[in-house]
Chain A
Amino acid sequence: MPETPETAGTVTGVGLRRSVTDHLVTVAAAGAVLLVLLPLGAIFVYLVYRGIGALNWDFLTQIPKPPGEAGGGMANAIAGSVYILLIASTIGVPVGIGGGIYLSEYGRNRLGNLIRFTADVLNGVPSIIVGIVAYGLVVLTQGHFSALAGGVALAIMMIPTISRTTEEMLLLVPTQVREAAYGLGVSRWRTTLSITLRTATSGVITGVMLAFARVAGETAPLLFTAFGNQYWNWRADQPTAALPLQIFSYAISPFDEWHRQAWAGALILIVLIVISVSAVRIAASRGMLKGAN
């Protein structure tokens, strides 16, 4: 850390104003931190306070009751979210990792750069747009809203993220490791899968989990793809409930009982996300890729 500003001031003699400015800025920056942490703290306090109050066994095991009636829960929404995320991961994870492999192992050229740039830009496309595309692609073709459409929408969002993190992790594997495998007569594809990818496993998983956590809370792309459902559904071609959708529709409803349940749903959702993000963080800091970040 730099020397204290006071000494700088007294030495030059013109320092009072400068030194005061310096202190003011420090106070302002610390104030900014407090001001930013305040809403974060408030959100967590409210989530826990309102969420735990509304959380009970029924909430986790029952499906929603008709509007205005007490009781009922979000069991079908929790299961639906898991279902949709499974579909999304089945499509998004292999393609994303494949894209990452291409970028790191074959993509040191202009096409690679184009894909890299496109992936970063795609990351910033509003999720609602992805919803429109999945709607046109799946819902219109099938003729109705479905879990599959929701899964496709979320998969589209996962692919660019996973590609970029996978690339980053594969690039951390030293070239010598690959060359050693080639030297032993191992073919290129075998080397990539069994040596390079395997060496970077923990980093790749980190990237996948981050992408997963990011889409787990997405609501906008599900609005007109998965659509939501008040009942159980296990068919991929039928409208399906999802936790974020349920939170949304309950939050904007006029019923106090549903507001309570929205908080409980939000608590469950955030706990799931925080657990996966922190687990990833711990795994990454303990894993072999220490220098990764």
Chain B
Amino acid sequence: MANSALGAPHLPGPQPVVKSEVAVDGKVQIRPLAEAGDSRIADNVFSLAMLACGLSVLALVVLIVYELISKSNLSWHAFGLKFFFRSEWDPVNDQFGALPFVYGTLVSSILALLIAVPLAIGVAVFITEMSPRWLKGPLAFTTELLAAIPSVIYGLWAIFVLVPLLRQYVQPWLARYLGWTGLFSGPPYGIGMLAAGVILAIMIIPIISSITREVMTAVPQQQKEAVLALGATRWEMIRTGVLRNARAGILGGIILGLGRALGETMAVTMVIGNRPEIARSLFAPGYTMASVIANEFSEATGDLYLSSLIEVGLALFLVTIIVNALAQILVWSVTRGMPARGHA
């Protein structure tokens, strides 16, 4: 299989280290390489070892599924599918239902998407099509920096800065002008569903915007020029020439953001209020699937309690797996197999 290289007189290796090893005193350096690895056994052992490493990724998923299913068995037998439609969460009497957590997870994530999607697409459009060239790099870097901040630090900031801000300014304002919808009523604690949605939005904007940016850059330059040549304004060019072509990938980015929001734990746990209730108002405290696990797992006494928590985890896992797989397929369809995450 290596025969085609025989004709090549030297290594076109891009790294000086490799070049000097071969070019300066090739024989001395190469001979031990050749001799040490001359056996077919070594080759096979190596490829098997690498295969094992590769398979470990599959094994991890199998392991996760096995752990979650086997350890949630007890709760599954006790409550069945009704587990997800009961709103009782009473560890003292061993009554468990996950509805408040499912509700809290969905509402906080949807709220986050409503806030994040327009902003994230705006940022991506600005960086790829509008910003002056010198500003592109720093802007892209800064938005990526947002993604590197740990969840717990977002939570810390949310507790001491965002929540007071919401309580003093935003919530009274919302209550006065939009209170009639029923979504913004009740005492403005600051802490609650709204705070969780806002902090989640801040956290998923970088993911959505970096993927949107990636798929927008994948649109061929000629196509943009063609649209411009037809007399389109810049926005018309972006709308018809770029966004329309990149929409599958952008949708993938949004779904990936949704997946992140669904599973986000620490920041949400710190500001959502952690009360297993279903309330119409976004001012009211809530609870999510991830935060109930975070808060109660290490204190769960009783097998059924622990098993119920793990069943919540299993449901969360399945939902994020489906959401992520869907997003991956959409993004892959545009970027052709490169990883979906924007690398630094």
Q: Is the CB of A136 within 8 A of B71?
A: yes
A216 CB → nearest B CB, Å: 8
Q: Is the CB of B233 within 8 A of A19?
A: yes
Q: Tell me whether A125 and B64 are in contact in the complex, defined as CB-CB below 8 angstroms, given that A179-B2, A220-B265 are known contacts.
A: yes
Q: What are the residues of chain B within 8 A of A179 when measuring CB–CB?
A: 2, 4-5, 8
B154 within 8 A of A: yes
CA distance A121 to B318 in the complex (A): 11
Closest to A280 in B: B344
Q: Is the CB of A274 within 8 A of B148?
A: yes
Contact of A25 among B22, B60, B61, B235 (CB under 8 A): B235
Q: Which of A126, A177, A270 has the most CB of B within 10 A?
A: A126
Q: Is the CB of A269 within 8 A of B150?
A: yes
Closest to A190 in B: B37
CA distance A158 to B60 in the complex (A): 12
Q: Is the CB of B343 within 8 A of A185?
A: no
Q: Tell me whether A98 and B57 are in contact in the complex, defined as CB-CB below 8 angstroms, given that A125-B263, A252-B159 are known contacts.
A: no
Q: Which of A33, A179, A269 has the most CB of B within 10 A?
A: A33
Q: Is the CB of B34 within 8 A of A46?
A: no
Closest to B155 in A: A251
B92 within 8 A of A: no
CA distance A47 to B144 in the complex (A): 18
Contact mask for chain A residues 36-58; partner B; CB cutoff 8 A; 1 contact, 0 none: 11011011001100100000000
Q: Is the CB of B270 within 8 A of A251?
A: yes
Q: Number of B residues contacting the other chain (C-beta, 8 Å)?
A: 121
Q: Is the CB of B139 within 8 A of A199?
A: no
Closest to B319 in A: A126
Q: Tell me whether A192 and B263 are in contact in the complex, defined as CB-CB below 8 angstroms, given that A224-B298, A251-B155 are known contacts.
A: no
Contact mask for chain A residues 260-280; partner B; CB cutoff 8 A; 1 contact, 0 none: 001100100110011001001
Q: Is the CB of B205 within 8 A of A129?
A: no
Give B contacts to A, CB under 8 Å.
1-6, 8, 10-15, 17-18, 22, 26, 30, 33-34, 36-39, 42-43, 45-47, 49-58, 60-61, 63-64, 67-68, 71, 118-123, 125-127, 130-131, 139, 141-143, 145-146, 148-157, 159-161, 202, 205, 209, 224, 228, 231-238, 256, 259-260, 262-266, 270, 290, 293-294, 297-298, 310, 313, 316-317, 320-321, 323-325, 327-328, 337-341, 343-344
Closest 4 CB pairs of A and B: A217-B150, A182-B2, A126-B263, A98-B53
| Selected A-B contacts with CB under 8 Å, 15 pairs | A2-B228, A25-B238, A43-B149, A102-B54, A115-B54, A118-B61, A124-B323, A129-B316, A133-B67, A174-B13, A178-B2, A193-B46, A217-B150, A252-B159, A280-B344
Give A contacts to B, CB under 8 Å.
2-3, 5, 8-9, 11-12, 15, 18-19, 21-22, 25-26, 28-33, 35-37, 39-40, 42-43, 46-47, 50, 94-99, 101-103, 105-107, 111-112, 114-133, 135-137, 145, 156, 159-160, 163-165, 168, 173-174, 176-195, 198-199, 206, 210, 213-214, 216-220, 223-224, 227, 244, 247-248, 251-252, 259, 262-263, 266, 269-270, 273-274, 277, 280-281, 284, 288, 293
